[in-house]
């Protein structure tokens, strides 16, 4: 069976919703960022600090290739992963890509106290988020096979994904 890749902006719920889908469908869940942290034995923050964003993107690309070799996984992609064509290409055709669509205002609220995402640790966080969100949304939409609204609770969103894809519960 193919993998299901959840994509979307930071804070859209990829990991929480992904875990819930996995539990309900008996599939295995993989969080791409955690996979990278374990493989590199460093936190995402440490990877950004040591290798810069470009270094992180190369590591992330390797992770996409490795995970796409596996089957039946529910994968929560990193928020930037599917905005790069080389990563979308890895999954396209073989796996099913689902965008969790959440408005910027909701994302802002969810990430108001975030300390873990290197791209948001800056005084102009609000402007950066808007710029990134506007730039990325068309890319997520281009990569996605399905678009599911993700504003509701993680459990309801998980059921929306399960229904949209016709997955067995
Ligand atoms: C990133 C999102 C993060 C993580 C890294 C970069 C991004 O993942 O991969 O901080 O570029 O949007 P989450 O979407 O899980 O926060």
What's the pLDDT tens digit per position in 27-61?
A: 999 999 999 999 999 999 999 999 999 999 999 99
Give CA–CA dist 44/12, Å, rounded.
18
Residue 166 has pLDDT above 80, yes or no: yes
In a domain, 39, yes or no: yes
Mutate to test the pocket of ligand 1, among 117, 128, 137, 150 (most ligand atoms within 8 A of CB): 117
For residue 22, the CA-to-ligand 1 centroid distance in Å is 21
Residue nearest to atom 2 of ligand 1 (CA): 79
In a domain, 163, yes or no: no
In a domain, 162, yes or no: no
CATH code, domain carrying 78: 3.40.50.300
In a domain, 96, yes or no: yes
Report the domain count for the chain.
1
Per-residue confidence at 156, pLDDT binned at 50, 70, 90?
Answer: very high
Q: What does pLDDT average to over the chain? A: 97
Atom of ligand 1 nearest to the CA of 36: 9
In a domain, 56, yes or no: yes
Q: Indicate whether residue 117 lines ligand 1 (CB < 6 A).
A: yes
In a domain, 140, yes or no: yes
For residue 120, the CA-to-ligand 1 centroid distance in Å is 10
Q: Are 74 and 29 in contact (CB under 8 A)?
A: yes
In a domain, 68, yes or no: yes
Task: Say what the pLDDT of residue 78 is.
Answer: 98
Q: Is 41 left (phi over 0), alpha (psi -120 to 50) or beta?
A: left
For residue 45, the CA-to-ligand 1 centroid distance in Å is 10
Give CA–CA dist 112/31, Å, rounded.
22
Q: State which residues form the domain around 90.
A: 4-155
For the question of whether the overall pTM of this predicted structure is more than 0.95, the answer is: yes
Give CA–CA dist 61/85, Å, rounded.
10
Give CA–CA dist 97/31, Å, rounded.
15
Residue 1 has pLDDT above 80, yes or no: no
In a domain, 161, yes or no: no
């Amino acid at each position: 069976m193919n993998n299901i890749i959840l994509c979307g902006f930071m804070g859209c719920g990829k990991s929480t919703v992904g875990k819930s889908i996995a539990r309900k469908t008996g599939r295995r869940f993989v969080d791409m960022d955690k996979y990278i942290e374990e493989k590199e034995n460093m936190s995402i923050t440490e990877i950004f600090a040591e290798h810069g964003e470009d270094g992180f993107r190369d590591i992330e690309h390797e992770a996409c290739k490795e995970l796409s070799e596996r089957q039946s996984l529910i994968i929560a992609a990193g928020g930037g992963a599917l905005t790069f064509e080389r990563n979308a290409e890895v999954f396209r055709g073989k796996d099913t890509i689902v965008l969790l669509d959440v408005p910027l205002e909701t994302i802002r609220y969810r990430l108001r106290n975030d300390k873990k995402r290197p791209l948001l640790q800056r005084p102009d966080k609000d402007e950066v988020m808007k710029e990134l969100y506007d730039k990325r949304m068309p890319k997520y939409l281009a990569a996605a096979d399905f678009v599911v609204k993700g504003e509701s609770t993680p459990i309801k969103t998980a059921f929306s994904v399960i229904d949209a894809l016709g997955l067995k519960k």
